[in-house]
Amino acid sequence: MVTVEIQLKAYRLMRAAVEMAAIYEKNRAICKYVHSTSRGHEAIQLATAFQLQPCDWISPYYRDESILLGMGFEPYQLMLQLLAKGEDIFTGGREYYAHPNYRGADRPNMLHQSSATGMQVIPATGLAQGLEYLSLIGSPLLVRGAADEAPVVVCSLGDARSFVGVTHFSDDRGNRARRRPSGPRLPAWARGRAPRRSAGGRPGSRPRIALRPRRG
């Protein structure tokens, strides 16, 4: 049930996110750090954050500041990461905005991830598989929710990341791990392999995209 208290909390946090976005835009000439905001995504991000428990895991992306606010982090803490300050509690100012990592008993856990967009997909997939395995073997290492709920893993990414190889590789890997059909077989470039070349050394009909560095 959505109580009045939850609605008021959500409204205050939505207003905070709106004001933060306005401040960032106003001072873009001063703030040289690349950033984007959760403008237009505030409601769904807060709804997601309010559902998470300390046993859960989340891999946010660079527009997920409203999720972080909903998890209990303060605007000042997020701004320290935005400005790459050494006092940043997440990475000491070493990572992209809204790319935090956190381990604690009071909030959902967050894995450290690369600043490159889309790089959170594969670690989140492996984490979900690991939690599923701990559940299957009945491991005492599996932390459950207050009402004995199983932990969940949330991975957030933008529309532009949905076509890159790492995203399709993670989806294919998860499907194969569960031994169920994964649909049409992905091309080599989407599975992380270099495209095939003809006998003459010219690229074949496959896209000229390689996720692994070439040798030589």
Answer yes or no: is pLDDT of 190 > 50. Answer: no
Closest CA to 98 of 26, 39, 22, 151: 39
From start to end of the chain, where are the E strands?
57-59, 153-155
Res. 211: pLDDT tops 50: no
CA-to-CA dists, residue 100 to 23, 81, 94, 141, angstroms: 21, 8, 10, 24
For the domain spanning 4-191, the CATH number is: 3.40.50.970
Contact 45, 10 (CB under 8 A): no
Give residue 89's pLDDT: 84
Question: What are the phi and psi torsion angles at 197 (to 5°)?
Answer: -125, 150
d(CA 89, CA 64): 17
Q: What is the mean pLDDT of residues 160-180?
A: 54
pLDDT digits (tens, 9 = 90+) for 98-147: 678 888 889 999 988 776 767 788 889 999 999 999 999 999 999 999 99
Mean pLDDT of 63-70: 91
Q: Token match 């237009």: residue? A: 40
**131, 57, 174, 188: CA torsion to nearest 10:** -140
Q: Percent of the chain beyond pLDDT 90?
A: 36
